[in-house]
């Protein structure tokens, strides 16, 4: 199918994610990257390196597949190279400004733009604040959608020398870089599986917080009510890494309100292929309102506890 088999898309995503991750590691300025802008709040930053990573990823994929579309954190919806330029910044977009054919943002349910067979969902650095501070949990995340469905996902975590990948129906895989830091694809990949049958009271639950104070007020209330009911809470600073941690059984569950499609498109498939359930509240698909990920047995219990805490709200401003 025009070279758009999920396995081929995954291989391209792996090559490009590794290249971007290496560039981000080798070219990170010694004093930290330069903040070039802010988005939803003064602490929601974009650095020169987020933009450089995004450019590299889109350019490399376009070299190979010029007819594909993109949805990327810093540029928003980018139409195929073969169509007229159409770039919409995600932080400035309003529904009435989205032109026909351009992907709408954040939900992941819109069709791939006309003429494009594949849409790539990109987070050039997930965990930008960790990258800014020199902490290891940040990732390059690349997913490939066909007909609006993610069929391949790659999350590369250079700070840990780990590459997670999945093709729909093919399980979830982890490759480690060798000590010499050689190509992430050169070591044998091993399958990963999420934990199953974990009791809520014994669950290690990861979560994250948005950048806006009104959202954090409620997120703080919810996590305070959850804490006495579970083993413990973790906040690593990258939703993509958190979801891969669910996939690898390093935590038992993850939930967060307010994450964007590019945060979870690739890692969500990886967690799903590792056996986790990913959904929103009360049968909704996972999305900006809420995403919950957990293995068999735990998902329903965590879901019901969260539902009782009414987590899909923000404090009045
Ligand atoms: C953020 C990280 C963080 C999560 C935020 C995301 P960014 O993405 O995934 O863990 O709590 O909701 O926005 O800004 O680093 O790409
Ligand atoms: Ca992100």
Instruction: pLDDT band for 94, please (50, 70, 90 cuts).
Output: very low
Task: Give the Cα separation of 75 and 67 in Å (integer).
Answer: 18
Nearest protein CA to atom 16 of ligand 1, as residue:
126
Residue 112, pLDDT score = 61
Q: Which residues line ligand 1 (CB under 6 A)?
A: 73, 123, 126-128, 208-210, 237-239, 256, 258-259, 263
In 3-state terms the chain splits into helix, strand, coil percentages (rounded to 5) of 35, 25, 45
Q: Give the number of other Cβ atoms within 10 Å of residue 292's Cβ.
A: 24
Residue 92, pLDDT score = 32
Residue 75, pLDDT score = 86
Express as a percent the part of the chain with pLDDT over 90.
75
Average confidence (pLDDT) over 61-86: 81
Residue 187, pLDDT score = 77
Helices assigned H by DSSP within the chain: 6-26, 48-64, 128-133, 213-226, 239-247, 261-273, 298-308
Q: Which atom of ligand 1 is nearest to the CA of 239?
A: 9
Ligand 1 center from residue 238 Cα (angstroms): 5
Task: Give the Cα separation of 72 and 141 in Å (integer).
Answer: 10
Residue 95, pLDDT score = 27
Nearest protein CA to atom 6 of ligand 1, as residue:
259
Q: Which atom of ligand 1 is nearest to the CA of 138?
A: 15
Instruction: pLDDT band for 111, please (50, 70, 90 cuts).
Output: low
Ligand 2 center from residue 259 Cα (angstroms): 8
Q: Which atom of ligand 1 is nearest to the CA of 126?
A: 16
What token pair was written down for 306?
A: 């969260």
Select from 46, 238, 246 the residue to mutate for testing ligand 1; criterion: most ligand atoms less than 8 Å from CB.
238
- pLDDT tens digits, 220-243: 999 999 999 999 999 999 999 999
Spatial contact of 47 and 34, defined as CB atoms under 8 Å apart: yes
pTM > 0.85: yes
Ligand 2 center from residue 260 Cα (angstroms): 7
Instruction: pLDDT band for 85, please (50, 70, 90 cuts).
Output: very low
Sequence-distant (≥ 6) Cβ neighbours of residue 228 within 8 angstroms: none
Instruction: pLDDT band for 295, please (50, 70, 90 cuts).
Output: very high
Ligand 2 center from residue 124 Cα (angstroms): 8
Which stretch of DSSP H or E encloses residue 176?
Answer: strand 172-176
Instruction: pLDDT band for 28, please (50, 70, 90 cuts).
Output: very high
Q: Is the pLDDT assigned to residue 98 strictly greater than 50?
A: no
Spatial contact of 127 and 245, defined as CB atoms under 8 Å apart: no
Spatial contact of 34 and 48, defined as CB atoms under 8 Å apart: yes
Sequence-distant (≥ 6) Cβ neighbours of residue 1 within 8 angstroms: 117
Mean pLDDT for the chain overall: 88
Sequence-distant (≥ 6) Cβ neighbours of residue 281 within 8 angstroms: 289, 290, 292, 303, 306, 307, 311, 312
Question: Any idea which ligand is nearest the CA of 127?
Answer: 1
Residue 87, pLDDT score = 39
Q: Which atom of ligand 1 is nearest to the CA of 50?
A: 16
Ligand 2 center from residue 263 Cα (angstroms): 4
Between 282 and 98, residue with greater pLDDT: 282
Between 185 and 127, residue with greater pLDDT: 127
Ligand 2 center from residue 73 Cα (angstroms): 7
Strand, coil or helix: what is 40?
coil
Ligand 1 center from residue 200 Cα (angstroms): 25
């Amino acid at each position: 199918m025009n070279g758009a088999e999920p396995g081929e898309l995954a291989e391209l995503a792996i090559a490009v994610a590794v290249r971007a991750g290496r560039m981000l590691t080798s070219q990170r300025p010694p004093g930290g990257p330069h903040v070039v802008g802010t988005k939803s709040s003064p602490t929601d930053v974009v650095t020169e390196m987020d933009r450089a990573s995004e450019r590299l990823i889109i350019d490399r994929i376009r070299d190979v597949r010029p007819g594909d579309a993109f949805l990327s954190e810093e540029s928003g919806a980018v139409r195929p190279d073969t169509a007229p330029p159409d770039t919409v910044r995600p932080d400035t977009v309003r529904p009435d400004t989205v032109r026909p054919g351009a992907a709408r943002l954040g939900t992941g349910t819109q069709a791939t733009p006309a003429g494009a067979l594949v849409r790539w969902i990109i987070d050039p650095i997930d965990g930008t604040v960790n990258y800014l501070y020199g902490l290891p949990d940040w990732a390059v995340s690349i997913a490939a959608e066909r007909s609006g469905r993610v069929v391949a996902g790659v999350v590369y975590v250079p700070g840990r020398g780990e590459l997670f990948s999945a093709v729909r129906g093919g399980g979830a895989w982890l490759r480690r870089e060798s000590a010499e830091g050689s190509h992430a694809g050169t070591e044998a990949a091993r399958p990963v599986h999420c934990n199953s049958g974990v009791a809520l009271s014994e669950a290690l639950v990861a979560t994250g917080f948005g950048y806006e104070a009104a959202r954090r007020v409620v997120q703080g209330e919810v996590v305070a009510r959850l804490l006495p009911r579970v083993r413990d809470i973790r906040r690593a600073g990258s939703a993509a890494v958190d979801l891969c941690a669910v996939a690898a059984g390093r935590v038992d569950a993850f939930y967060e309100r307010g994450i964007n499609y590019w945060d979870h498109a690739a890692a969500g498939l990886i967690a799903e292929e590792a056996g986790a359930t990913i959904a929103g509240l009360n049968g909704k698909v996972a999305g900006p309102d809420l995403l919950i990920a957990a293995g068999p047995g735990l998902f329903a219990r965590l879901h019901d506890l969260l539902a009782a805490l009414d987590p899909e709200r923000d404090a009045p401003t």
